[in-house]
């Protein structure tokens, strides 16, 4: 019984399919995150299998590390790296303030390294945002939550399913077009705006209304462009182009002044 091996110490968060806990391996004292998925809450078991299969293949300092999975009663436990400082959204909420530009640049550079690795492996994350970028107590940034991620076949795009979080979704995903790696680049640009403004563009609108407006509105930017550097604005502009083929790819973004 896995419950004899691990101590559950605290609930870190809750979602539609279950909760995430901080756990400790009793034999060594090693601390890890336990994502508990209630089987009776899951409509698509193949998606859970896909997430586990994908996590097994990730080996990069800026993506969460997978340690294994097990069945406990009517639940699946997925064992991952524990990030003691929580998500970037948690950090902003705790401070009741957005990040400074210098902090944003550090987080963006590390998240971009993780994203470039995923894209090199042919993996599209599909739900990049501040709440899915985690921070360890030693300051390491890790991309997390691969619940809707997909590995692309060579030269292919992901399914045209509308998945992700509305405020961060690219216009082509909202339109139901097959999503390519460029959809993540759009989400990264929105995430940079979220770090600087404390919220994504259109956050004052209900999510579904925002989603229907995104394809028709001009390309978004930070609320007060005058208070940020030209380098940050150039980075956001390279990410947030309406047409996916016009966006920079992850490797090109790494060369920009904002993160280099």
**Catalytic residue IDs:** 127
- How would DSSP label each residue in 76-141? EEEEE---TT-BHHHHHHHHTS---HHHHHHHHHHHHHHHHHHHHTTEE-S--SGGGEEE-TTS-E
Q: How far is CA 178 from CA 91, 98, 160, 165, 181, in A?
A: 33, 33, 4, 16, 10
**Could you give the CA distance from residue 195 to residue 57 in angstroms, rounded to a whole number?**
29
List CB contacts of 78: < 8 A, sequence separation 6 or more. Answer: 34, 35, 37, 51, 52, 55, 66, 69
Query: Does residue 129 have a known ligand-binding role?
Result: no
**Could you give the CA distance from residue 105 to residue 99 in angstroms, rounded to a whole number?**
9
Annotated binding site for ATP: 35
């Amino acid at each position: 019984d896995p419950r004899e091996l691990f101590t559950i110490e605290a609930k870190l968060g809750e979602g539609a399919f279950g909760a995430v806990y901080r756990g400790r391996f009793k034999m060594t004292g090693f601390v890890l995150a336990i994502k508990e998925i209630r089987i009776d809450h899951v409509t698509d078991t193949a998606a859970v299998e896909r997430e586990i299969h994908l996590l097994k293949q990730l080996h990069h300092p800026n993506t969460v590390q997978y340690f294994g999975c097990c069945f406990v009663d009517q639940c699946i436990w997925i064992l991952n790296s524990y990030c003691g400082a929580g998500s970037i959204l948690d950090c902003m909420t705790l401070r009741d303030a957005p990040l400074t530009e210098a902090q944003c640049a550090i987080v963006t550079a590390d998240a971009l390294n993780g994203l470039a690795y995923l894209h090199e492996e042919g993996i599209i994350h599909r739900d990049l945002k501040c709440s899915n970028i985690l921070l360890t107590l030693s300051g390491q940034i890790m991309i997390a939550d691969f619940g809707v991620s997909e590995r692309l076949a060579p030269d292919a795009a992901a399914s045209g399913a509308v998945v992700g979080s509305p405020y961060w979704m690219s216009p082509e995903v909202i339109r139901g077009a097959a999503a390519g790696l460029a959809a993540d680049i759009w989400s990264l640009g929105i995430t940079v705006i979220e770090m600087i403004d404390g919220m994504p563009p259109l956050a004052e609108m209900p999510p579904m209304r925002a989603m229907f407006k995104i394809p028709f509105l001009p390309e978004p930017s930070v609320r007060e462009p005058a208070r940020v550097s030209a380098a940050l604005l150039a980075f956001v502009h390279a990410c947030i182009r309406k047409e996916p083929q016009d966006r920079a790819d992850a490797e090109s973004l790494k060369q920009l002044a904002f993160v280099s």
